Every structure is written in C-alpha cells, then in structure tokens.
Structure 1
Amino acid sequence: MIKKVFILMVIMIASFVIFTACAQDDTTNQPVDDQEGDIEQDVQPADETNLSPTPEEMNETHTVVLYFSDNDLTATYRINKDVFVRNKDHLAKAALEAWIDGPEHEELTGLVNTNVIVEYVEELDGIANVSFSKEIQGINLGSSGELMFAEQIAMILQQFGFDRTQILVEGRVGETLLGHLYTGEPIIANDPESYLWVEEKDSREIVLQNVAFRIFEPYPNSEVKDQIVVRGLARVYEGTLLYEFEDGHFILDEGFTTATEGAPGWGEFEIIIELDEFANYSGRVILFEESAKDGSRINELKIPVNVIN
C-alpha cells in the first residue's frame, strides 16, 4: 500500500514539472508584440513625428520692394519680393539679403556677389546703419555702377522709414566703398515714384544709348530726307538737353529741348530738325547736356545719318 502511494506521488510530481515547463516554453515563444502590446500602442510612426517644418511654416511672409539695375546698368527698376522672417524686426536685413541673392527677372541684374554678408541693420539717430562683410569691397562696378549700388541700398531701407542710410564695412565707416562714391556721410534716398516697376519697363527698341540718353530713332547711319526726327529718353539735369546737327565742317542746326522728367528719372523727348536745303552728305546729330557744376559739355551722344535727295 505504501509502495502504491509513493508511486502515485512520483507520478503527480513529474506531471506538475512537465506542465510547468510547457507553460514557460509557451510564454517564451509568444510574439514580441503580444508581450509588449501596451508599449507598441504608444509609439508613433517615425514619418509622423520627425517632419521638419519648412521656412514658410516657421516664419511669417512679408512682401518687400527691391531695386535692381537693368542688364546695361542704365536704369534701376522696382520689383516686389516675398521674404520670410520669424521676427519682423529683422525684415530690413532680410530684404537686403534677398537683394544680394539677385533678381529672377531676365531683364534685371544684381550688383553684389552672393558671398557678401549683411552683418546687421540698426537705427542710430534716425539713420539706418547697415554693415556688410569685407567681401563687399571686392565688387567692381565703376563710378556709375557704384552710384546705383548705394542708391539701391538706400531705396530698399527707405520703405522701413529711413530717409538716410549709412553704409559700413565690418562696422566701420569709410570715406569710399569701392573707390568712387564718397560714403563718409549717409546716402539720401530718392522718391520711390521716380523708379518704374519692372512691368512698366519700356519695350521699345533702344538703337543707341549712353548714361544720359536712350535713342529709339533714328537708327545710326539711316537715310533721312526733308527732316530728322530724334525720339528717345533722357536723364539729364532739370530735363534740359541740347543738340547740334553738323556735316563734319559746319553746324547746320542747334538748339535745346526739355524732357518730360529730369534726372534721376528718365524723361521722354523729341527733336525735329528741318532740312530745307540739302544735298547728299553724311551728317550727325550730337546730343549733350551742360554740367550743373561748371556748365561744361558732358555726356555727348553722336547719331550718324545720311541725308539724301
């Protein structure tokens, strides 16, 4: 009897050990996500949590007015440009940085290398002080290009309430920036309305031009009879331009006219020279202006023509 009870107890213990081992093995072989189901439910997909916001989402959009030269560096035009800033106090600096990046319009060009850095823009006694990195001194524009350069900076900052802008390099004022224009004093901004929007840019063909005159007609060396008609644009002091018509030996006609607008704007003008008595010869119309400083003759533009019967 005791032997039977002992055997029964051994069988029960063995059964318990086998059952426990199977239960542990079953738990071990369960899928991981079943064991950690609660943790998996709290994890978000990576593509929903690691998206970086775009500049447009991080910043506010502001439309500013920028100024760029045409490809011939003969005039400056206005365009609108959207810029993005987090703090509106940095809008003037952002506008200048967009100006350095250059225009997208195919008929306009930038004046500054894109490696130039706008260090800061700050107000001092009502004057905008803008400091550029030293790379600004590496551009080569000539006297007229340097004037446009300073003019465009002053006009960009004018929209932020500054009528005068002091240009600095690495925080220091210099007598000249690129070797031509005096920059020891602030640059005074012009009237924005004296600049055309690029959409208003004259589409007429310019057949001859210089810094003061743009001629639509006549073509150089064209044939004329009875009269010479000269039409174009002038950027001259008080809009006054003078002309002469000569045949290489004598002045056959001379006079002056007034354009519809004086410098720095471009004004329309027309000159008609009557040819009452003529023979076949070559002549030329000479346009010029008188210097406001000393009355000397400056900015001559010569238009050759052929007079025929």
Structure 2
Amino acid sequence: MKTKKITVLFLAVLVLFVFSFSGCDLFNRDPKPSPPSPEAQTMEIAVFYLKDKDNNMYLVREVHTVPKSEGVAMVALNELISGTPLTEGAFKVLPADTKILGISIKDGLATVDFSQEVLNANVGAYAEVLGIASIVNTLTEFPTIQKVQFTVEGSAEKAAYWWGHVGLEGQLLVRDLSDVQEPLIWVTAPTTNQKLASSFTLKGTAIAFEAVVNYRLTDSTGAVLAEGHTMTTAGAPERGDFAVTITFTPSSAGSGQLKVFEVSMKDGSEINAVTIPVTW
C-alpha cells in the first residue's frame, strides 16, 4: 500500500515537472490571432474652396480622400463644410454649423436644402459669388448633376437673397470654372490607379500658354509607352478643356504613371505637372 502511494506521488510530481518545462504554455499560450481587419475603403472627391492672394480672390480645386459611402453628393458638400483645405491660403465660406438637410437629384437638377445656419456667412459681394460657385462646382463634378438650386429649411424664398449680395430667386445655377486658378492643370480621366485599356481617353482642364498640354505615359521601370500633346479649348489666361485618345502597348511591368504637364516657354522645363498612377 505504501509502495502504491509512493508510485502515485512520483507520477504526480512527474506530471507537474513535465507541465512546468514543456506543457505549461498550454495554459499561457496566446489565443489564436484574429484575422486582420479589412482596410477601410476610401474614395476621392473634388471640392472647391476660396483663396485670396495679392488682393485677387479666386477658387481652388482640391481632391480629398474620404471614407467610401453612398450618397456622394452629400459627402462632397459635408466635406466642403467640415473638411480642411489642403491649399496654402485657401479657406471655407460656409459656416461650420451648416447642415445639409437633404439633396434631391432629378433630370440633372440637384436641389440642396440647407439648414438656417448657412445664411450666417459674413462675406463681401465677390466672395458670395465665389462661395456659390464653390458649391455648384463641387456638385457638378458628378455626371448626374448639371444644374443646382438652393433651399433653406425647405423654403426657396429663404434662399432667394442668400448672403445679401446675390439674388438667387428662380435661378438654376450651372458649372463655371472661369474663376478656378489652382491648380493650373487637373485631370478628370483616367482616375488614380485606374486600369487602362490599350487605348484610353485622357480628359481634363487647364490654363495653359497657347492652349498646349503635354502628356507622357511611362511604366514602373521608367520606359516611355506613349507621349505627345493636345490642345485645350482656350489658352491662358482662360481655362480650357482637353481630351485626347492615347494608344499604347502595355508592358509586362503592369503599372506606371501618366504625367500631364506644360512646357515652360522660358527654359523648356516641365511645369504645372500632374501625375496619375495607373495600371494595365
């Protein structure tokens, strides 16, 4: 009996010994790691802010990255109100406590209903013109919107005199880029990281000397796949649109960049360049 107790005690000690040096991590082992959370999806939207430089007030266009969401027009206007301008010296005119109560889009017309706070902006006459244009240009970035009208708390009458200098009664507002001075060149197609076909259309707008815009498509090794130039619909100091079809032979690199730029008349350098990463 005594021998049996000794044997049991020996086995118990042996088990404890084994767990101490080889198996105790069964109790301390970290739980199986959770799979990484998927990256939050984002999207790019264009917004227009005001800038006053050397007593010259104008609009600047910026592209902001925001969380991907339905209702992109609402997202864009909220970014116009609460986003942070990226351009040095750019500023917002819509009061920070302004709320977008609703947006309806029908037959290309967007009706935006603002809260009462939108009327509290304290700006001069020209800033009011630009402030209105900043809203309209932001909304008409979307192909489903060609015209815009405002209401305040559901009332067109409350919006009629807006900030006191410009009458909006009965007006349908349309896109106007004539006061957009920054950036000098921007590209609307292709978009960032877009997968290109071997023939694609480059589109954008520019303020360019003699209305000439240049482009160059290179792959990730730096090899030039296509290059050339196109004309805008107007030369500097006016802003003009451009569109050109580019055909290239895709390389095995599978990715690269499209550079759009102006050539300096002074020294031949590439200026006002825009670079868009692309794939194929």
Q: Report the TM-score when normalising by structure 1.
A: 0.47
Q: Which residue of 2 is the match for residue 17 of structure 1?
A: 5
Q: Which residue of 2 is the match for residue 188 of structure 1?
A: 173
CA distance in 2, matches of 1:33, 1:66: 65
Return the letter of the residue paired with 2:29: E
Return the letter of the residue paired with 2:75: A
Q: Which residue of 1 is the match for residue 206 of structure 2?
A: none
Q: Which residue of 1 is the match for residue 181 of structure 2?
A: 197
Uncovered stretches (5+) of structure 2, i.e. residues with no partner: 186-233, 240-280
Uncovered stretches (5+) of structure 1, i.e. residues with no partner: 1-12, 202-260, 267-309
The answer to whether the aligner puts 1:163 opposite 2:152 as a matched pair is no
The answer to whether the aligner puts 1:152 opposite 2:140 as a matched pair is no
Q: 1:43 to 1:50 in 2, by over 3 A?
A: closer
Deviation of 1:15 after TM superposition, in Å, equals 0.9
User: Within 5 Å, which residues of 2 pair with 1:224-243?
Assistant: none
Q: Secondary structure at the match of 2:131?
A: helix
Q: Deviations 1:37-91 (Å, cap 9, x if unpaired)?
A: 39937622xxxx48666xxx4223325252424257853223231333424x433
The answer to whether the aligner puts 1:129 opposite 2:135 as a matched pair is no
Number of residues of Structure 1 aligned to a counterpart in Structure 2: 183
Q: Which residue of 2 is the match for residue 114 of structure 1?
A: 96
User: Within 5 Å, which residues of 2 pair with 1:210-249?
Assistant: none
More strand by share: 2
Q: Which residue of 2 is the match for residue 212 of structure 1?
A: none
- The structure with the larger Rg is 1
Deviation of 1:172 after TM superposition, in Å, equals 4.1
> Contact 1:76–1:148 (CA<8 Å) still a contact in 2?
yes
Q: Which residue of 1 is the match for residue 249 of structure 2?
A: none
The answer to whether the aligner puts 1:27 opposite 2:27 as a matched pair is no
Q: Deviations 1:5-27 (Å, cap 9, x if unpaired)?
A: xxxxxxxx111012212322443
Q: 1:186 to 1:38 in 2, by over 3 A?
A: farther
CA distance in 2, matches of 1:172, 1:72: 38
Q: Deviations 1:62-121 (Å, cap 9, x if unpaired)?
A: 25252424257853223231333424x433223223322252222432212334333443
Q: CA RMSD in A?
A: 3.7
CA distance in 2, matches of 1:42, 1:157: 49
CA distance in 1, matches of 2:107, 2:21: 70
The percentage of counterpart residues that share the same residue type is 19
Return the letter of the residue paired with 2:26: G
Q: 1:94 to 1:148 in 2, by over 3 A?
A: same
More helix by share: 1
The answer to whether the aligner puts 1:98 opposite 2:82 as a matched pair is no
> Contact 2:109–2:149 (CA<8 Å) still a contact in 1?
yes
> Contact 2:60–2:90 (CA<8 Å) still a contact in 1?
no
User: Paired residue for 2:66, among 80, 84, 103?
Assistant: 84
Return the letter of the residue paired with 1:76: Y
CA distance in 2, matches of 1:195, 1:65: 14
> Contact 2:47–2:134 (CA<8 Å) still a contact in 1?
no
Q: Which residue of 2 is the match for residue 176 of structure 1?
A: 161
CA distance in 2, matches of 1:124, 1:86: 23
Bigger RCO (CA 8 Å, 6+ sep): 2
